Structures are given as structure tokens and as C-alpha cells.
A and B are shown apart, each in its own frame.
Chain A
Amino acid sequence: MLFNSFEYAIFLPLVFIIYWKVCKTTQHQNLLIFLVSYLFYGMWDWRFLFLLTATTLFDFSMALFIQKETNEKKRKQMVIISVVINLISLGYFKYFNFFIDSFLDMAHSMGFNPSIHTLKIILPVGISFYTFHSLSYIFDVYRRDYIASRNIVNFLSFVSFFPLLVAGPIERAAHLLPQIEKERKFSYRLSVIGLRLILWGLFKKMVIADNAAIYVDSIFNDYAESSGSTLILGVIYFAIQIYGDFSGYSDIALGSAYLFGFEVLRNFNFPYFSRDIAEFWRRWHISLSSWFRDYLYIPLGGSKGGLTMAIRNTMIIFLVSGFWHGANWTYIFWGALNALYFLPLLIFGKNRQNLEIVAKGKLLPGIRDIFAMLTTFGLTCFAWIFFRSPTLDFAFNYINGMLNWSTFTMPLSREFIPLMAIFILLEWIGRERLDVLCFKNVWIRRASYVLVAFSVLVLTPKVESVFIYFQF
């Protein structure tokens, strides 16, 4: 069931009404969340419910053992077992064929011809997200940030909470589980914010990302025949597509969670208005970046061991982040490239210079900010080429095609530019708010709801595409 589907448009209000009107206790509400989340997930492929249940029950039990154990060495061993088991499951479904293929390529290049067959493995939707979701719980219990839950229904609801199950945001146990355990009261304010986020998320996905996808697909599929300027436009469109797609998804997820009284982590904070790469990564896929920071970068020593250690750890988290996205060298290269962008800032101690949103309280940015934003956007776009390409060769050929005299010609596929410009303008106006549609003037706000809803109806392309991050 997709967030932008007719089924979800029936499912969400139905669950919302049952949740607030029929369920009289918190325990009933949690049971309902667990049941509808499993229904939501089972509609993709019910067979993977067993995997989800097994992962959840295993981590639930391990957390109780870790909690009970007082011997630090044994506690650590249990965490390692839990991490290994979770990563084996993730590795098998997501990376098995990648390792086999890479090994075969290497063997062939060395003159060997081993006969190993890859398997037909179906990737369970959302496995990267719920595995990290569940792992955060193990880490939080181990670090004594959170007391292991003894209520299996609460924990099942936490891992399978349907707004976050398929593509995040990746929640922390210490943040979400206490909300699941405590009594929740209907909040008008939270529900209105939730509905606004859902509406804006639908616009970003169905109007912006899906329209951009048409041009991106055609340019990338036909890159050898396109001019340099068209290829550049294709990458810019992809930057907008992936942002609209993933942040649109996250907004709908956030909005849906708000409707049930949960304040979950924000995943995007206007990343393309960043003035350097460090700021970009504080604003893009925030839940994953902070997950890696808290559970990988800091345990590895962070920057406590001096600059060399900070550089090493930064490289590690960017490479792992790239690999997390998928079993392909293009993602690893994308991660490495971002690490290379980041390192100069780290070395010169400039990685925390832009913490506030650009031009705060002002209508327009200064020349320096504009230049910094364009440079950051350019670097990000360059890295997106690798993310979008099926192979590294493809990416290099694409870049090659961008750099020639045809770069100075008028690009094709310009039809999307006006819509993109309106979108960027709206995001700019709303950059200091959680939800873009929260205009101060009540009539502007109401008109914006109708206009956005109307745009979703009329401007959605005939060919709809699935959310990009479902494949991760």
C-alpha cells in the first residue's frame, strides 16, 4: 500500500477514527497500531511478515537479556550477537548477490572461472529501515539510555509502526518508545500539522517528483544522444526528483504519525538551501545521518582521537552510508565523494559554521549565501550522477557527455523548469517552518490548501512511479 494510493486514502482515516473513537486505552491503541501495521506491510508480501516478526522478537528478547546482565563483557557480547544476526539478515537479502558478483568479477579478472550462482532473492521492502530501527533499541538498552520494554505489543508497534516501516524516518527507541508507552490524548494542533504535512508531501511526490521523473528517465536513458546542457538539466531534475520523492514520503510519514499523537523525528530540513556540505548532511535524511553519528561515528571514537581519527571515522560513515543505500559500487562511490567534499571542512574546522537556516528572518539571501548555496547544490548534483547511474561506467560516460561544446547550447526538456521554480520558491518562503503550508494569514493558508490539493489532482502525471527509497 503506497502513501499516494487510493487504498491509503481509505486506510488512514479509517484507522484514525478507530484509533481515537473506538480504542479506549493506550494498550488498545498500541494493539491496533501493531495489527494495522502488519496489515499494511502484509499487503506487499505477507511472507516477509515472518521475517519482520522474527527480527522483532529476537531483538525484544536480546534487549531483555542485555538489561538483566550485569557483567559488562557479557553485555557487550550480547550486543555483538544481536548486531551480527540483524546484519546477517540484512546482508543476505540485500547484499548476497552483490558480494557474489563482485567476487566473480575479481576472479574473472585474475583468470579464474569459478562456477557460483547468484540466487533469486527478493528484497523485503523496508528491511534497511526496520533493521536500523530495531538495532537502535538494542544500542539504547545497552547504553542504558532506555530500559528494555517488557511489553511485547508496545515493542511490536514500535518496530512495525506503519508510517515509518517502509522508508523511515529511522526512529530511536529512546525517542519513540516512551511515546508509545505513555497515554496519548487527541491533539487538534498536532493533527492539523499532520494533515498539512501529508498534503505538502503528496504535492512533493506526485506533482514534483513524478513529473521530474519523466524527464530524468528520458534524459538518463538517452544520455548518449543528448547535449551537455540537457544532461546538466537532467541531473538538476534528478536532484529535485529525489528530494521531492523522499522528503515527500517523509512528510507523509511524519504527518501520519502526528495524526496518531506521535511526534517523530524530522527527516529533511530544506537541504538544498545549505551553504556547505556539512550543513547539507545536517538537513538531508537527518534520521539516517544522526543514526550513523550516534551509533557508529561516536562509538568509533568520533573526533576525540584528533584530526586523523575524525577523518577516518568520517570516511567510514560516508562509505557505510553509501553501502546502506544499496549493493552497488555507484552508491559506495557516491558516499566516498560526499566524504571528500566533507573532509576540507573538517580539516579546517569549518564543519559547524552554518547551523542556522540561511537568511533567517530575511526575505532574500546575500550574494555570499547565494554563491555558497549554488556551489553546494552543484557539488551535490555531481554526486547524484553516481547515485542515479546503474554502473560507474555509465556515470563517467554521462559526465563525459556533459563536458563538451554542446553544454553551451539551449537544453531540451525545459518544460519542467516553471514548475520546479514555483516549488523552489514555495520551499524558500516556508524554509523557517516545519510545514511549508503554515502561512500566518488564515485566508492565504486556506487558499494554499485548496490550490495544493487541486495541483495534486490536475498536475500528477499519467505515469506514477513508486517511491525511490522503497528499494533501500
Chain B
Amino acid sequence: MKLLLKKVLLFSAIVIVLNIWFSDLLFQKYRNWEKLGVYFDPMRMQEFNALESNKVNTIILGSSHAYRSYNPFLMDSLVPGIKTFNLGSSGQTYRTSFALLEYALAKQASIKTVILDVYFLSLFEKEQLNNGLHNYLHLDGFEHKFRFYKDAFTFREQMLVLLFPSYVYRGNFNYWLNNCLGRKQEKLPKGEYFGYGFVSSYDHSTPKTYTQKDVFTGYIFKPELIHEPNLIYLNKLVNLCSQKGIRLVFCATPLPIGSINKMKDLNEIKKYYSEMKSTYKAEFLDYSFSNELNFTDTIHFYDNNHLNRIGADLFTQEVLVKKVLSNK
């Protein structure tokens, strides 16, 4: 048995060493992001890392809804004394939001307001690795990076990031292979990076967008399927804000009517949001299902889920500026 264990350990060591070496090749995609010009995460984090200390007093956290709907330039220009940075990232869960807030506070102790986008689908998100990596890879300083690693990833994910980076970055294998074969790497950007973490596009959805089957088709909100750790980290985030005396605002951005109409039942989500409001005793601006702002699907939305630049500007102006920031 000793011989078997020795051989298995040796084999595992060889595989681990090789995979760490190979992950470096897979990682070149991240190093080449400028050439590809489609990766918002490094741009966002590099810009944030380069900011002077105590420059920012308002941050936005959340998933793609956050970085596509809240225009920090508009907020800063319309509300005197406000300096905003949008730290939204793709698929951001509350766990990532919490770890990111810790990082942001370490860099910018001046933060006084946090706007958290509470997209209902984030509540069910179990996958933590990729949305954590969107940020982790571009953080500054070993100490901050280690803290994020500890807080944002589960034990399984920590082990994967540490020992099996080839597995973690395996999504880049095709990029590496195509590069080796001399094939052109082209990917159309899903919007433009405007700075301060804000990503948007002037493109708009078409009527056809809403005839296709998607995540909203027949959607039923089932609270029993909510991924428990998401709530635990939402709690931690709320507590952290309260300890630091930070104003926390929950906000839900509008969805296109075409997508809302596909959903089976909205009552459960509305009920859940209202419970959330009372549980956390937080300011909560829910615009997900009301068309108070008179948005038109094919004018204000980029796709079946996100606002485009026109929609984002209108939303920022009407909601964030008038109802949140001017109403301290």
C-alpha cells in the first residue's frame, strides 16, 4: 500500500507542477486583453487600483446590471461632492460583492455610500469561482488579494485556484490553441468601456429579441431554491456597512417589458423584495417590474436583460440622482 500511495503522490505532484506551468500559457489571454479590447474587468480594476486614496465616496456593486445601468460620470456631474466608481462585474454574487467591498474600503476609506444592485437571479447563483476571478485576478497587493481569496472563494474553489490553475483557466484553452495555430482571435465587444467601471452600448434590442426562448421564458421565482451562502454574505455586507457607518441602498434596475411578459409569476419576486426591504431595513428602490420611467424595450435596452446607454443615462438621472443621491 505504501508503494501505491507513493506512486499516486508522485503522479499528483507531476500533474500539479505541469498544470501550474501550463496555466501560465492559458493566462496569456489576460495579459493580451488590451489587444483584444473586450475585457472590462482588467480595465475596471486597473483604473480603480490607480486611484489616489480617499478619492471615491460612492461605489456601485452588483452583476452586469450594475456596470451597465449606473453611469458614474453622470452621477458625479449632477450631484456636487459625489465621486463614484462602478465596481460591478459579470455574475457578481453577494459573496463577491462583500469581498470586493472589503477591498474597496482598504483602498478607499472615504467610501460613504454603497449602491448594491439586487438582481433577483443573483440570489440563486451557486457558481462563485468565475465571478470571483473577474476581480481577484486584477487586485493589487498580496495582502488584499489573500483576503479576497479567503472571503470570496469556497474551500473547493480555493484549492482549485491554488493547485489546479489550468482547470480554473481552462476556458482560455481555445484561445491558446488558436494562438498556437496562428488563427486570428476575434470577438465582438459587448459594449464599450467608458471608464470608472461603466460599460455600455448605444445598440438596442429588436422585437425579435423577445420572441426567443431565454432565461425568462416561463420563469417562476422559487425562494426555496435560493443559494443560502448568498444570503449569509448579503448579511455580512449589510453588517459591514452598518459598522462603518456607510449608507447602503438596494436598487433593482428595470427589465424590458418583453422579458417581464415571458415570466410566469412576478408576485413571488415582488413579495421577496418587500421582505428583503423589511429584513435589512434598507433603502430599496425597486424598478425591476414597474415601468414608471416609460422605457421602451427597443429604445432603452441593449438586449433582453440590460439597459443600453440611453436607458442607463435616464435611469441614473431619474433614479440615482433624483431619488438616491440628492436625497441624503
Contact = CB atoms under 8 A, between A and B. Distances in A.
Contacts of B3: 188
A20 to B, nearest CB: 6
Interface string A29-63: 00000000000000000000000000000000000
A147 interface: no
Interface string A426-467: 000000000000000000000001100110011110100000
Interface stretch (B162-170, B179-187, B226-234, B299-307): B162-170
A295 interface: no
Nearest to A194: B4
Contacts of B170: 457-460, 462
B19 A20 contact: no
B173 A450 contact: no
Contacts of B18: 450, 454
Given A454-B19, A457-B19, A195 B167 contact: no
Interface in B151-184: 156, 159-160, 164, 166-167, 170-171, 173
A112 interface: no
Interface in B1-33: 1, 3-4, 8, 11, 14-15, 18-19, 22, 26
B173 A459 contact: yes
B321 to A, nearest CB: 38
Interface of B: 1, 3-4, 8, 11, 14-15, 18-19, 22, 26, 130, 156, 159-160, 164, 166-167, 170-171, 173
**SS class, residues of chain B in contact with chain A:** helix
A454 B171 contact: no
**4 closest cross-chain pairs (CB), A and B:** A457-B167, A6-B156, A457-B166, A453-B15
B166 A458 contact: yes
**SS class, residues of chain A in contact with chain B:** helix
Contacts of A186: 1
A188 B159 CA distance: 29
Contacts of A191: 1, 4
Contacts of A6: 156, 159-160
Contact of A454 (B8, B15, B130, B159): B15
Contacts of A7: 156
A188 B11 contact: no
Contacts of B130: 462
B164 A188 contact: no
A458 B14 contact: no
A188 B130 CA distance: 39
Residue with the greatest number of chain B CB neighbours at <10 A, chosen from A20, A21, A188, A458: A458
Nearest to A462: B171
Given A453-B15, A458-B170, 18 more contacts: A20-B1, A186-B1, A188-B3, A188-B4, A192-B4, A449-B11, A450-B11, A450-B15, A454-B18, A454-B19, A457-B166, A457-B170, A458-B166, A458-B167, A459-B173, A460-B170, A462-B130, A462-B171
